[in-house]
Amino acid sequence: MTGTTFALLDAFLDMMLAERNAALNTRAAYRRDLDEASRFMAQRAVSLHQASEEDVRAYIASLAVFAPRTQARRLSALRQFYRFLCSEGHRAEDPSRNIDPPRLGRVLPKYLSEEEVVALLKVVARHRGAEGARLKAMLELLYAAGLRVTELVSLPLDSVLFDRGLVQVKGKGGKERMVPLGDPAVAALKAWLPYRKESLGDKRASPFLFPSFSGRLGYMTRQRFFQLLKDIGIQAGLAPERLSPHVLRHAFATHLLEHGADLRSVQTMLGHADIATTQIYTHVATDRLTRTVTEHHPLARKGRGKRSAS
């Protein structure tokens, strides 16, 4: 990567942070994708910021081994980078403008059944002491409020309004939302607070609900919570590949819709900017209802045309 390309990439990523309120994780993802594209261009003896449409087409063709969504994401990163270069006067035209993204099929989110969530909570309830109380509080909160994992681990203590049964969440782009909590989640959080106070001691303070002093963040890492959740899932008899923090977020949304919640309310609680993002959960609920009817309705069974002898 040339010094010019490196400087332009930094300027683009800084713009993403400053003007679009992109999360640090989003910025890092763009950096990885654009670094990969830059390495490919280097093999063609061209800098990323000077690549032609032919170069970009060759790069996208090289991504055929990846899933369509991965290809589309990397093309999107390139497009935004080149549009930035055009807007800043570094290029006259966008070399990706005539390249169509791959067709994406509808991929329904993975989620757990209500029975599987209950099984997870029963496993957590068997864990004692501070670790058990923290795990139970985190799991109850994740499922009760549909949080993203970063929102969960970095949640400030004062974001939980115990007297009102609400949690105030700062999501993507710094947007805030209020999500109601059920009694089990509030009870689990209250049970965690004495252990939290004990873990801090008299000389340490932390603004976070789930503080940690083993790393630079000051709170539990996403990777550590992911690992703990996998361990709980194994104990509950769930395949590790079926479980992640985002799967519980999907379960939160799906179960709400199945029990009659309206789509706008679920959109607000999830923190989706566009209701189209939330609508995917209606497909999940509809597919499940279709399977239920197919498997259990008497008119949908084999031999439904046969009449019993009277």
Distance CA 162, CA 33 (A): 42
**Is 143 marked active-site?**
no
Q: Examine the residue annotation and report whether 283 is marked as an active-site residue of this protein.
A: no
Q: How far apart are the first and last CA of the chain?
A: 83
Cα angle 210, 248, 181; round to 5: 60
Among candidate residues 90, 170, 246, 288, the one labeled active-site is: 246
- The active-site residue, picked from 134, 136, 148, 250, is 148
The single residue of 74, 249, 250, 255 carrying the catalytic annotation is 249
Tokens 């390309």 belong to residue: 5
Pairing of strands 160-161, 166-170: antiparallel
Structure tokens that stand for 114 in this block: 């209500």
Whether residue 97 lies in the annotated active site? no
Whether the CB-CB separation of 272 and 171 falls below 8 Å is answered with no
249 counts as catalytic:
yes
Q: How far apart are CA 118 and CA 128, in angstroms?
A: 18
The one catalytic residue among 90, 172, 224, 230: 172
**Active site includes 172?**
yes
Beta strands 176-180 and 160-161 are unpaired
**Residue 148 annotated among the catalytic residues of the structure:** yes
From the candidates 59, 143, 219, 281, which is the catalytic residue? 281
**Residue tagged active-site, from 134, 196, 255, 272:** 272
**How far apart (Å, rounded) are the C-alpha atoms in residues 91 and 94?**
7
Active site residues: 148, 172, 246, 249, 272, 281
